[in-house]
Structure 1
Amino acid sequence: MPRNEPTEVTDGWDGGRSPRRRKAVRYGVPVAVAGVAAATIGLVPAFAGSGSPDLPKISAQDLIAKIAKSDVQQLSGTVRVTTDLGLPSLPGGGAGAFGGAGHGDGAKGKDGATASPQNKLMELASGAHTLRVAADGPAKQRVSIVDEAAEYSIIHNGNQVWAYDSGTNTAVHSTAAAHDKGARWHHDRKDAPKDLPKGLKNATPQDLAQQALKAAGDTTSVTVDGTARVAGRDAYQLLIKPKQSASTIGSIRIAVDAAKGVPLKFTLTPKSGGAAAIDVGYTAVDFAKPAASSFTFTPPKGAKVVDGDKERAKAARQHGKDFKDRKGLEDFKDRGGLNVIGKGWTSIATIKGSGSGLPTGKSHGAGGDAGTFLDGIGEKATGSFGSGRVFSTRLVNALITDHGTVYVGAVDKQALIDAANAAK
């Protein structure tokens, strides 16, 4: 069967008046069930019925509807996460797996490390990692990050949440809000357990796909581009491309399970080319009900157990005091705070500066050391706004002017300069 060429999305699918655009439907994910409006994307039929494996033809809008209708509540599997954002190396090698600030949880291990869920998120920002995931409805989930010599797990069962770091033999126990127990997480729920940090909840192909589809609109081309085999299952490949040339994102490819409608793999490639910046996919997946033991946890003998509820309350009190004492926050609010300009893939977040700008290598003392480091990784930028420095990764660029105003987004350098020129 000859391969059908992908057809680019146009904006002619009944505009904003179509009831398809207004109808919100939900789909299941293994760690958080979230909703996606399948009709927020203007589409024309783009079929994929060839490739390997050989699957029936399906249009892009029907494939998105299939994702939205999927209500998979039970699964287990292994997810491989590979991230290459091109982040600069920090002096001293940066924090370790559990290093750095503990966000006030006080869950310190014997070596000063912490079992706080938030501190583990930094690991996922670079390199390759293996996750084991399991879900049995909205009240039971488990995510484990498996390292060569240790394992870190978050277990949510009803109103109980455990976070355990085997490397330091440290556990944090917290209690989710009572209404979370047995509740169903619809797309409009705001009350997911706070102890499941967003970064870990969104570490699966389903959650990443949801975010990508939310961003789609008249600035986006969405097509079905062939088929694939992922984790031993037949899948369609949904291809998402920004139409805005200033975006640093080249494409997003989502492999969707042909039978279940569940995203199995998410790949984001920068416009600059090269390896994927984010590649998250199942290497094994099973849609059967996981064993009940997957969601039970008993601290091992000798483990340090921290009361996460008490530590969180303590941190909240401290943060409240810090906020009261920090006059700079009031100044930030008076200057307009954070604003977003533009739309779609080329949105730029801006923070108005105070006029202090960045330290430079010409400075002396600690500021001079920081300035020398910044001079080494930043690129000088000038325009009618004045001058500043651009700091770049493979996806996100940031312009900090000499007046201290910040412009940041998944856009190229010129887009940031143009934004600064327009705002001067």
Structure 2
Amino acid sequence: MARIEPTHGTDGAAGAGESAGRAPGRRKAVRYAVPVAVAGIAAASIGIGTALASSGDPDLPEIAAQDLIAKVAQSDAQQLSGTVKVTTDLGLPSLPEGFSLGDGQGQGQGGKAGHGKAGRGAGADAASPQAKLTELASGTHTLRVAADGPDKQRLSIVERAAEYSLIRNGDQLWAYDSKSNTVHRSAAPQAAKDAKDAHGAKGGKETPEELRGASPQDLAKKTLAAVDDSTSVTVDGTAKVAGRDAYQLVLKPKQAESTVGAVRIAVDAKNGVPLKFTLAPKGGGKAVVEAAFTKVDFSRPSADTFAFTPPKGAEVTEDKGAKGGKGGADDRKKGLDASGLSGMNVLGKSWTSIAEFKTPGGVGTAAGAKGAKGGKDAGPAGALLDGLGSKVSGSFGSGHVFSTRLVNALVTDDGKVYVGAVTKDALMKAASK
């Protein structure tokens, strides 16, 4: 099918928002939270699904790019179930055992972070969503998803001999790890009375953060929310995804500092639901992030899909923070998140946004060497940093740049961190201000 360029004399989504009669759809799209460039999308969470068998590109009526964006924003499909194939390939280097950023506070009581029960510490919660969902940052995974409105959702990570499930049913949020037979229970967040949920219904309940970002819809809507006049937007043909006809929406950054080559979103021609999301790096090669439905059904899932009772003998832990405990609240008041990093600032905007934060004790080294910093006097730790990244210096001092196929990070010797889907030069420029 012929390439379809945006109308009204612009190739950016900014023109779409100015088109008469289309402003409501544009405004609705911008309500979705904007990630820190595409770095937040790539780190949280979710990656690639090899595309599905196709019976040939469908012949669909032409549609302008801004109209397709509005179609996604106005999509109100609240019921669905299906299977999503996901893969992430950031090209991350593997870190030697015992190495971490920060002063070692994140390690378990057993002395080795993340290795067995000892590494998690006594009484650790193996089913905790925060720990489990980090696995989606690399490799290929199969997810089963289901939703019935804003207060019933289910996401399951299917493994060879086990399954990990997150179930939201009303005000309860359950996480179950069949491999360890452990259950994590917490209260689902409540939206403000006058807030609107993702579909625009007043008085709805928020989707828990743990259930976000795990589908083509979440990835697409986060990306479209960041679209502005720094983005070239086109419709590039059609596709068949999970047996459904779809348009191909293509977004490309205009900013030279971005490391993103293009984002391609397959949008269901009938209901506007994103069916496939692909993020390609500017450097070429295979996609860094892609998520695609292999099966999808937009009818209402059965009620028992969202019912959960802890299996006999399962170890159940409660999230005390969800009940008003001091656990994470005090840290947030101090400007620290769960990893012990100081509050994050966002520099720049859109595709060239850079996250800036600080590690409390500088750049940590091997276990026990608290406060040691990189550089020639850091011994083995300095050599390790030199091996993983490239040494740089500037008006900010000195540090190391660590690169992946998409995201780059600058870690200064005094513990400041700058990370984004931008070039090394852009990070150094931000650190020098």
Larger radius of gyration between Structure 1 and Structure 2:
1
- Checking the alignment, whether the CA contact within 8 Å between 1:26 and 1:187 is kept in structure 2 is no
**Unmatched 5+ residue regions in structure 2?**
34-55, 99-112, 364-371
Q: Go from structure 1 to structure 2 and tell me whether the alpha carbon gap of 1:63 and 1:298 turns closer, same or farther (over 3 Å shift).
A: same
What residue in structure 1 maps to residue 374 of structure 2? 360
What residue in structure 1 maps to residue 160 of structure 2? 148
Question: Is 1:317 paired with 2:336?
Answer: no
What residue in structure 1 maps to residue 114 of structure 2? 95
Q: In the TM superposition, what is the alpha-carbon distance from 1:11 to its structure 2 partner?
A: 7.6
Distance in 2 of aligned mates of 1:274 and 1:403: 35
SS, match of residue 238 in structure 1:
strand
Q: In the TM superposition, what is the alpha-carbon distance from 1:97 to its structure 2 partner?
A: 9.6
Q: Go from structure 1 to structure 2 and tell me whether the alpha carbon gap of 1:24 and 1:269 turns closer, same or farther (over 3 Å shift).
A: closer
Q: Go from structure 1 to structure 2 and tell me whether the alpha carbon gap of 1:148 and 1:413 turns closer, same or farther (over 3 Å shift).
A: same
Identity, in percent, stands at 57
- Checking the alignment, whether the CA contact within 8 Å between 1:24 and 1:35 is kept in structure 2 is no
- Checking the alignment, whether the CA contact within 8 Å between 2:231 and 2:254 is kept in structure 1 is yes
Distance in 2 of aligned mates of 1:279 and 1:99: 34
Q: In the TM superposition, what is the alpha-carbon distance from 1:371 to its structure 2 partner?
A: 2.6
Distance in 2 of aligned mates of 1:161 and 1:304: 16
Of residues 257-266 and 16-25 in structure 1, the stretch that sits farther from structure 2 once superposed is 16-25
- Checking the alignment, whether the CA contact within 8 Å between 2:261 and 2:282 is kept in structure 1 is yes
What residue in structure 2 maps to residue 45 of structure 1? none
What residue in structure 1 maps to residue 304 of structure 2? 293
Residue among 77, 81, 95 paired with 1:72: 77
CA deviations over 1:81-109 (Å, ceiling 9, x no partner):
1001111112249736999658x9x554x
What residue in structure 1 maps to residue 11 of structure 2? 9
Residue among 266, 275, 284 paired with 2:277: 266
What residue in structure 1 maps to residue 253 of structure 2? 242
Q: Go from structure 1 to structure 2 and tell me whether the alpha carbon gap of 1:99 and 1:115 turns closer, same or farther (over 3 Å shift).
A: farther
What residue in structure 2 maps to residue 57 of structure 1? 62
CA deviations over 1:275-306 (Å, ceiling 9, x no partner):
11111110000111111111111222221222
Question: Is 1:129 paired with 2:131?
Answer: no
Greater relative contact order: 1 or 2 (C-alpha under 8 angstroms, separation 6 or more)?
A: 2
CA deviations over 1:318-352 (Å, ceiling 9, x no partner):
4566689999xxxx98xxx6433322211223347
Where does 1:99-178 land on structure 2 (aligned, <5 Å)? 108=125, 114-176=126-188
Residue among 233, 254, 265 paired with 2:265: 254
- Checking the alignment, whether the CA contact within 8 Å between 2:2 and 2:236 is kept in structure 1 is no
Question: Is 1:345 paired with 2:351?
Answer: yes
Distance in 2 of aligned mates of 1:98 and 1:243: 47
SS, match of residue 164 in structure 1:
strand
CA deviations over 1:367-415 (Å, ceiling 9, x no partner):
5333332121010123344432111112211122344433222101111
Q: Go from structure 1 to structure 2 and tell me whether the alpha carbon gap of 1:145 and 1:345 turns closer, same or farther (over 3 Å shift).
A: same
What residue in structure 2 maps to residue 185 of structure 1? 197
- Checking the alignment, whether the CA contact within 8 Å between 1:97 and 1:123 is kept in structure 2 is no
TM-score (norm 2): 0.76
Of residues 369-378 and 119-128 in structure 1, the stretch that sits farther from structure 2 once superposed is 369-378
Residue type of the partner of 1:289?
R
Q: In the TM superposition, what is the alpha-carbon distance from 1:14 to its structure 2 partner?
A: 8.3
Residue type of the partner of 1:119?
A
SS, match of residue 264 in structure 2:
strand
Q: Go from structure 1 to structure 2 and tell me whether the alpha carbon gap of 1:404 and 1:325 turns closer, same or farther (over 3 Å shift).
A: closer
Q: In the TM superposition, what is the alpha-carbon distance from 1:245 to its structure 2 partner?
A: 0.9
Q: In the TM superposition, what is the alpha-carbon distance from 1:176 to its structure 2 partner?
A: 3.2
Q: Go from structure 1 to structure 2 and tell me whether the alpha carbon gap of 1:147 and 1:24 turns closer, same or farther (over 3 Å shift).
A: same
SS, match of residue 290 in structure 2:
strand
Q: Go from structure 1 to structure 2 and tell me whether the alpha carbon gap of 1:379 and 1:163 turns closer, same or farther (over 3 Å shift).
A: same
SS, match of residue 311 in structure 2:
coil
Question: Is 1:284 paired with 2:298?
Answer: no
**Unmatched 5+ residue regions in structure 1?**
28-33, 38-50, 109-113
What residue in structure 1 maps to residue 425 of structure 2? 414
Q: Go from structure 1 to structure 2 and tell me whether the alpha carbon gap of 1:97 and 1:10 turns closer, same or farther (over 3 Å shift).
A: farther
- Checking the alignment, whether the CA contact within 8 Å between 2:13 and 2:227 is kept in structure 1 is no
